A and B are shown apart, each in its own frame.
Chain A
């Protein structure tokens, strides 16, 4: 069986113009994403080659821009990621499937009945508008109903992209769509299927592959083994929409360290060499983008290691500050993207709108200084400066109470 699969994969790779060497390099990259040593590459290659049969998968699109699909689908052929993803059998994938109508719906129903599949969920779960969003097919088949249906019997749900993780940009203030993440929503519906969260906007396709490899091959499709064999970080947060307290499970190999700590521009940060203006000489020289709003220090993803677009480059390397898309509530926490701090949303406070904390603090400091100057002038005018005011002989409290029953003394 293994030999057959080897042959099949080998032919497939050859047809797509991928050399054995490219394939092994790719397996090394997957190993790194899984937090394994690159010496594991041959084992991963063997596991991929020996994959007994396709793992059925449903790709469900939630409320989002479909950028995560773009991220995966727009890789130019031949690409190893595409081929490895061919090892998933997508029974449903709205953007790229050929089936339509009743047949497509039937694919979901049938797959859910049979079980043994994974769900890849892209986009936010939109609870707003009475849940009447993302309706496909029958009028009552809302996005929420579809998610509940497919998640209930799945081996695992991969929540890909920040929208699926916690609502992403769709939930940005004031969140009219009532957008939330898959994990929070399923928890609120008491659906216990494990949810693996892969934030960033869009998701990095290699991280999906890493998780699929982990579940399919390293853990042999056994979810318990998959959860046990993977190192996780848990990001706790309280979801505003469902009010659920959620511990988001993310693979530690991918989300365990900050971008700042692995950044190729980090040396310039320590040296105090900064870019003050985008497009400047300093930017080209690889200086640090901290002053133009880089959120790398508080964003925990493996972008500098995995990189993007077939490991060609990534945001900071290309000269753009990190906008923190891999964090939770990332838009509200990081906008404006070119400022060091996020705005405070004070539209409820005297209609102030968005205010930078620095501006607010400077105003408070300025008012305090002005008040002290005014007070000092008052103290002077009252003749208190110098020897001070005449002192009271007894506390006002005691004087008042003296008439009654004695006060403190």
Chain B
């Protein structure tokens, strides 16, 4: 699962950049979000709010671009391979992911010894990556629903009514940030548990042989 090479075909430059944008925006969003939730030092509220809004627009545009680009950019179909195909095919579940979900869970729970055959990503990994898409949009939605200028628009006020008012929406927004924090923790951990080569390719665009 890990003793493989990391080639640039797995992460073409454009996706290295979108990944950087995601990372930077997420850090800015979480930091400014925590500050807006509870200002732990003085003198930053105006900046924090500005940062929160700008980073949100950027990450939403970036995500939308990333999804569209998946239909045009070619990426590696397998780990440690230079063979490429349209990215969306490698992003969605591939043939090799079929029937492997439970086996992957077993592997991570130490219930089996051998690594699990997977395609570009494992079954769990694909579920997690795909889940972040609606979650990111939903997080923006919950944010707009507690944002003064937009909360009275029907699209958002309907959601407010559904959850029982802005306070509950605020709490949902807050919890969802924690979902992203926990996702990031697991993501960084699993990506780098075997060695740091995955970070070298995604951050430095540096290829490594196994």
Contacts and interface: CB of A to CB of B under 8 A. Distances in A.
A342 B169 CA distance: 11
B186 interface: yes
Binding site of A, secondary structure by majority: helix, strand, loop or mixed?
Answer: mixed
Interface in B167-210: 167-168, 170-171, 174-175, 178, 181-182, 185-186, 189, 193-195, 210
Interface residues of A, number: 57
Interface stretch (B20-28, B34-42, B66-74): B34-42
B103 A269 contact: no
Contacts of A353: none
Given A340-B38, A372-B186, A388 B99 contact: no
B43 A271 contact: yes
A193 interface: no
B37 to A, nearest CB: 6
**Chain B, interface residues (CB within 8 Å), range:** 35 or more
A219 to B, nearest CB: 25
Contact of B99 (A334, A344, A408): A408
Contact of A408 (B98, B107, B182): B98
Interface stretch (A64-72, A154-162, A182-190, A389-397): A389-397
Contacts of B168: 333, 342
Contact of A333 (B114, B164, B178, B193): B164
B134 interface: no
Contacts of B98: 395, 397, 408
Contacts of B210: 387
B99 A271 contact: no
Contact of A365 (B37, B95, B178): B178
A398 B185 CA distance: 33
Interface stretch (A13-21, A110-118, A374-382): A374-382
Given A270-B45, A392-B116, A327 B1 contact: no
Interface in A350-376: 357-358, 361, 364-365, 368-369, 372, 375-376
8 contacts: A236-B161, A298-B166, A368-B185, A376-B189, A395-B100, A395-B116, A396-B103, A396-B112
* Top 5 A-B residue pairs of the complex, sorted by shortest distance between their CB atoms: A388-B2, A397-B99, A387-B3, A298-B166, A272-B45
